Amino acid sequence: RDSLGAIATMEATTATGPSATTTNTSTNSEGILIGDKVYSEVFLTIDNSLIPEEKLSPTPSMLDGLDLHTETDLRILGCELIQSAGILLRLPQVAMATGQVLFHRFFYSKSFVKHSFEIVAMACINLASKIEEAPRRIRDVINVFHHLRQIRGKRSSSPLILDQNYINTKNQVIKAERRVLKELGFCVHVKHPHKIIVLYLQVLDCERNQTLVQTAWNYMNDSLRTNVFVRFQAETIACACIYLAARALQIPLPSRPHWYLLFGATEDEIKDICITTLKLYTRKKPNYDLLEREVEKRKMALQEAKLKAKGLNPDGTPALSTLGGFSPASKPSSPSVTKVDEKSPNPQALKAVKKEAEDRPQASKSPHNGLRKEGKLGRTSRSGSRSRSRTRSRSRSRSPRRQSVSRSL
């Protein structure tokens, strides 16, 4: 937020003139100084969308306990959901490809354990439809995913009920879309290799071979389920797809020197993309229910670890181990003694308080004050109202006389 705010402030100062820029902002080696705060610079380029190798492992999901195989299956399943939903929504292939790339980028920043991959898949395809100028309503997106869930469960098709669950799902999709934009820094542009494949085949004089073009496109669409689009440039992916298609169709391409060197790709990058894509065909089809149970198990383990760190049981009650051997018999003294000690730590003052408490009933029974006798005469000789007023006035005067009696004793 600070970075985006810095960009907006820079644009505003540039519009006002150079004098405002010199007074409000200044640039140093750490970033941009605006007022008394330093903001980091932001470069929104295509290169920033690529993830460096050191951040590919461990991923946030692996840090939360998911293994690499489960995470890969979740990525494949999420991309398949986006592809199937895009077909039902009649989106262009470019929009479906953008949604899958955004899905991969987001889950290299967040964990599958903490975010529902199905909700994020809805948000990604909804966001991709806007990016590629083919917007769809959120209601249509949710309805399509509901239909896919019914097909996956082999249930009869039924319309989506617009109840409170639908409203909650819609709100979750909207929040997930905002979260995707925030995590990606609003850098959601994706450069696709579709046109690049055709352009390179024209250079190789193979664009008339429709089978070669279609096979290369198929390999590229399948590679969207892998992480190659967040690791390599679109030009390198296009070269790898042409290489795979030519090998599958046994079409010779220039090799002295290798043709892909002309387009800036290296042999190691081509091999890495080809191996990653071919591994996709040897994997078993991911099981949605098993993956959902695994994620739920990791989520419960994560919640229990958080409660344990706070010293609580899984049900939220305090753990006995954190009470430090608490026992009711281990108290050094009773609460009454503790309160007296806190109020009067002086033993002489404590004795005076006890002595005064013992003397109070004796003072009330002593005949020196003559209050009880006068009270009886007043009740018998006078009316009830005047006797009550006198007893009130006499009760008020008792306290100083009692104090004087206790002092004399």
Is pLDDT at 154 greater than 50 in this prediction? yes
Distance CA 197, CA 194 (A): 6
Confidence at 384, pLDDT banded by 50, 70, 90: low
Confidence at 355, pLDDT banded by 50, 70, 90: low
Is pLDDT at 12 greater than 60 in this prediction? no
Which residue, 132, 139, 134, is CA-closest to 161?
A: 139
* pLDDT tens, residue by residue, 177-217: 999 999 998 889 889 998 999 999 999 999 899 999 999 99
Is pLDDT at 364 greater than 60 in this prediction? no
Pick the CATH number of 194-282 from 3.40.50.720, 3.30.70.100, 1.10.472.10, 3.90.25.10: 1.10.472.10
Mean pLDDT of 353-361: 55
Query: What pLDDT score was predicted for residue 218?
Result: 94
Whole-number Cα distances in Å, 95 to 146, 186, 237, 255: 20, 17, 18, 35
Mean pLDDT of 89-109: 95
Is pLDDT at 6 greater than 60 in this prediction? no
Instruction: Enter the DSSP assignment of 331.
Output: -
The token pair that represents 297 in the structure block: 């198990």
Which is higher by pLDDT, 192 or 23?
A: 192
Find the radius of gyration of the CA atoms of the chain: 40
Tokens 């181990």 label which residue?
321
Query: What pLDDT score was predicted for residue 15?
Result: 38
Which is higher by pLDDT, 48 or 159?
A: 159
Query: What pLDDT score was predicted for residue 392?
Result: 53
* pLDDT tens, residue by residue, 213-265: 999 999 999 999 999 999 999 999 999 999 999 999 999 999 888 999 999 99
Ranges of beta strands (E only) in 285-352 are none
Tokens 């009711």 label which residue?
328
Mean predicted lDDT score pLDDT of the chain: 78
CA 37 to chain centre: 27
Kindly report the CATH number that applies to the domain delimited by 56-183.
Answer: 1.10.472.10
Q: Which of 9-23, 62-76, 322-336 has the lowest mean pLDDT?
A: 9-23
* pLDDT tens, residue by residue, 272-286: 999 999 999 999 998
Which residue, 369, 364, 340, 342, is CA-closest to 352?
A: 340
Query: What pLDDT score was predicted for residue 14?
Result: 38
Contacts of 403 (CB under 8 A, 6+ apart): none
Mean pLDDT of 296-316: 82
Which is higher by pLDDT, 159 or 49?
A: 159
